Chains A and B, each alone.
Chain A
């Protein structure tokens, strides 16, 4: 499992497409009103939308992903880093920020490789072997 994260608009999906030879049909884009994930897709993009949907649905995003762990082995998971700004006034957005963080902490430990994308360029945060 490869995890790619970075701030908003940093070109995370374009980076993945270029580096891992991905086309649009390989990508499942998470929606912020849907907690289901299509694990037949090679790439799970916009994981921050999934974590927001989990907040709304009262689910723990990390546990939902952990339940799918066996199906995530060959996946590329892409998530926005929303951890470094001002604490949101809105309670759901506050909960989302924390939910996303817990989820990313778990994913970072589980992943074989973790890449941070900055202005379209990648930095290997973690690479096994």
Chain B
């Protein structure tokens, strides 16, 4: 089952997603993968990644590093050099980071038009795995009128969210650890 989870920042989305992924893998006796989407840019990112790693310790996740072109993870290897099994359970945390990497690229260029391609790739990822939990961030209730780049990022992320909400079997909003299931 593919699941889409969103909600505000620091509301317990990742923890809930980790629990769902772990339980799904146990129930179906499948390998459990964590798709590491963050590309570290500085010491702050290194520390954040170290914190995430220690938070996932003991959960049984194998890490697959894939910051762009997400479907390539399915034919890649884990950080332990094991080939990835596409029928495993995947936790993609987060769509937000993935879009950021794709739109504002590591080489300093921008791809503001990447939305449709990403929507197709994420849809393909969901279909090929059938057991992915996608985590995104609900960043749409500001009263600020942002600059063009921020607004493009926001509208594109929302389009990806709506696409995944349509494609996934279950859609959950997490608010301070409480959940509401839309479908």
Contacts and interface: CB of A to CB of B under 8 A. Distances in A.
A119 B167 CA distance: 12
Contacts of B162: 9-11, 119-120
Interface of A: 6-11, 80-86, 88, 93-94, 96-97, 100, 118-123
B141 A9 contact: no
Contacts of A122: 182
Main secondary structure of the interface of A (DSSP, over half): loop
A84 B171 contact: no
A93 B171 CA distance: 32
Given A8-B154, A9-B159, A118 B143 contact: no
Given A9-B155, A84-B8, A119 B142 contact: no
Interface string B135-152: 000111111110000000
Contacts of B164: 119
B64 to A, nearest CB: 25
The 8 A-B residue pairs whose C-beta atoms are closest, nearest first, are: A7-B140, A85-B142, A9-B158, A84-B141, A97-B143, A119-B165, A82-B143, A121-B182
Contacts of B138: 7, 118
Main secondary structure of the interface of B (DSSP, over half): mixed
Of listed A83, A86, A119, residue having the most chain B CB within 10 A: A119
7 contacts: A9-B159, A10-B140, A10-B158, A82-B141, A82-B143, A86-B142, A120-B165
B137 to A, nearest CB: 11
A124 to B, nearest CB: 11
Given A119-B165, A119-B171, A83 B155 contact: no
B157 to A, nearest CB: 8
Nearest to B7: A118
A7 B141 CA distance: 5
B161 A82 contact: no
Given A81-B140, A96-B143, 10 more contacts: A8-B158, A9-B162, A83-B141, A85-B144, A118-B6, A119-B165, A120-B165, A120-B166, A121-B171, A121-B182
Nearest to A32: B145
A79 to B, nearest CB: 12
Contacts of B141: 7-8, 80-85
Contacts of A80: 141
Contacts of B171: 118-119, 121
A7 B155 CA distance: 11
